[in-house]
Amino acid sequence: MPTLLDGRKISSDIKAEIKLKVEKMKDAGQRAPHLAIIIVGDDGASHTYVDGKIKACKAVGFDYTLMQFAATISEEKLLKHVDQLNSDSDIDGFIVQLPLPEHISVERVTESISPDKDVDGFVNQNFGSIISDSPLLMPATPFGVMELLKRYEIDTKGKDCVIVGASRLVGAPLALMMSHTGHATVTLCHKYTKDLSSHTQKADILVVAVGKPNLITREMVKEGAVVIDVGTTRVADATKKTGFKLSGDVDFENVSKIASYITPVPGGVGPMTIASLMINTLRAARHNQ
């Protein structure tokens, strides 16, 4: 059996470390870091994610502000609220929970966030800093993947890393982190990639972030590979009280029989994303105070 990459445990360890740092800040007469969260509309999954972030803020001792708006809010009004947070010296960092309603431009909203308060790491300036010697606020989910590998002492140097899914939120920044910081040889696959299996079968480290349940089967994975499943999709399940279960992009039951390390879904990368958000908020607070 493989070693489970337990994101819940590592996230808990990171939050405990942050809590101690926050207590030291307060003892030194500094205020606690302050995170603001904007959520638009009534998307159930989004509210679940936001609840998790608020819970994490409470656990580490951060102050937080939740700003909820109807799905009918105009783009201009939303941008005004973003601008207010940019200029509020009491707010160290903030996020705009995605997705947004179709009439609102995600790029325009995210690019309006001040880079030193962009704790999701979405702004172009922060994205570009990944390959600098002094990275700023890192994209949260890829940062979480890298931290998970680091905490389990999984060596990435010189390894063949295949990333399936080239999104700007996960795949693209992770490819930069893996090659620049992790010193891995990276192959980035996407929807136009031909013969996906020919790439995934060569991976020492396989990361999948597509959102297609069980896309990666046992036959597509090299024996002994490290498998990181970022995918999280709600799949109907009448046996659950909620009526659904969370499914990853990897056929966990069968791939786990040949992998050396593997993340569960849920409980793998998800908690690490929130932990990374807490790290970024602490960094922003130290920079801003």
289 catalytic per annotation:
no
97 catalytic per annotation:
yes
120 catalytic per annotation:
yes
CA distances from 182 to 159, 176, 249 (A): 9, 9, 23
- Bridge pairing between strands 233-236 and 244-247: antiparallel
Out of 15, 97, 118, 249, the active site residue is 97
CA distance 143 to 151: 12
CA distance 286 to 232: 32
CA distance 3 to 5: 6
Q: Nearest Cα to 160, choosing from 230, 207, 211? A: 207
Out of 53, 117, 159, 222, the active site residue is 53
Out of 6, 92, 118, 120, the active site residue is 120
- Bridge pairing between strands 3-4 and 63-69: unpaired
Catalytic residues: 53, 97, 120
